[in-house]
Amino acid sequence: MSSIGNLILIPNTGKRIPAEAISALLDRLLERGERVGVLPEHRDYLSFAADKLSFVWDGTKEPGSSGTAALVLGGDGSIIEASHRLLGQNVPILGINYGHVGFMTGMEIGEFGLLDRLSEGRYATEERMMLDAEVTGEDGVCRGTFTVLNDIVLTNGPIARLIAFDVRCDGVLIETCRADGMIFATPTGSTAYSLSAGGPVLDPSIEAVCVTPICPHTLSSRPVIFRGNSVLRIDNIQSNNASVWLNADGREDLALRSGDRITIRRSVHSTRLIRVKEGGFLDVLRAKLSE
């Protein structure tokens, strides 16, 4: 792999990461000759280390280096936020786990020595598929579009009432589901909400969509895995006058109306994650599930 000399530092500002820890990390990177930059929205947050930052990322490749990557300080949620912030900019992401589980992070706190591998070109990248969702109204007009790394979730509102809806794949009716909702997860998202709802764990290197019902009211309603280029659709949503929502990656919501239709397909966008450790997904899975 080519070496990476430009790093965009993206901290999770809600985790109260000690300034001393960030300064120590920056010192380590500067000693190795890396140029470290920051997103415009984090310039004030990292003002205590302004003298150690070389650039503000504007979406273009910085001169004087063969590669640019994002270094995310946080957990899986922080990486999801970074994937949306950098969408379409072809910037790979390396996560340092300041969270809880960290299926997507590439290293843990206290493993800063592994960062040397970036400048030495001793790392691997993993391409993670994303999903697009489009909500159209009864009149055929688009009401919202979303791109996700983890999942699209159809869910009931604050009052937990049963939802009935049809699920179709490539135009073919799969089932009329009665449940609290449905999760449409990427392989990356299979270890998130879908796993908690009883869905299977998918190897993130495959191209597939996992559809997992949330508390189904029929014994025959079970998780189903569809091929990655499937076009999935939810329509005929009936909620007995209760509110129904679409949630995208746990960060965006849209209240659904009567007659709305949701179409979900593979996105043209993807997220590239950096691995600096030996081993692969199965090693991470074993380590994380045994914690």
Sequence-ordered list of residues with C-beta below 8 angstroms from that of 65, at least 6 positions apart, any chain? 3, 4, 5, 6, 35
Q: What is the spatial distance between Cα 144 and Cα 226, in angstroms, rounded to a whole number?
A: 24
By annotation, the residues acting in catalysis are: 76
Q: 82 near 72, Cβ under 8 Å?
A: yes
Candidates 3.20.20.100, 2.60.200.30, 3.40.50.300, 2.170.190.11; CATH matching 130-269: 2.60.200.30
Residue 224 has a pLDDT of: 97
Per-residue pLDDT of the chain (291 residues; tens, 9 = 90+): 667 878 999 999 988 888 988 998 999 888 888 899 999 999 999 999 999 999 998 877 655 445 889 999 998 999 999 999 999 998 999 999 886 667 888 888 778 888 888 878 889 999 999 999 999 999 999 999 999 999 999 998 777 788 999 999 999 999 999 999 999 999 999 999 999 999 999 999 999 999 999 999 988 899 999 999 999 999 999 988 789 999 999 999 999 999 999 999 999 999 999 999 877 777 777 776 666
Q: Which CATH architecture has domain 6-123+276-289?
A: 3-Layer(aba) Sandwich (3.40)
Read off the amino acid at residue 203. Answer: D
Q: What is the largest CA-CA distance in the chain?
A: 62
Residue 281 has a pLDDT of: 73
Q: What predicted TM-score, i.e. pTM, was given to this entire model?
A: 0.92
Residue 288 has a pLDDT of: 67
Nearest in space to 122 (alpha carbons), one of 100, 144, 145, 106: 106
In the chain, ranges of CATH 3.40.50.10330 domains: 6-123+276-289
Which residues on neighbouring strands pair with residue 164, listed in sequence order?
178, 238
Residue 151 has a pLDDT of: 98
In the chain, ranges of CATH 2.60.200.30 domains: 130-269
Helix, coil or strand: residue 37: strand
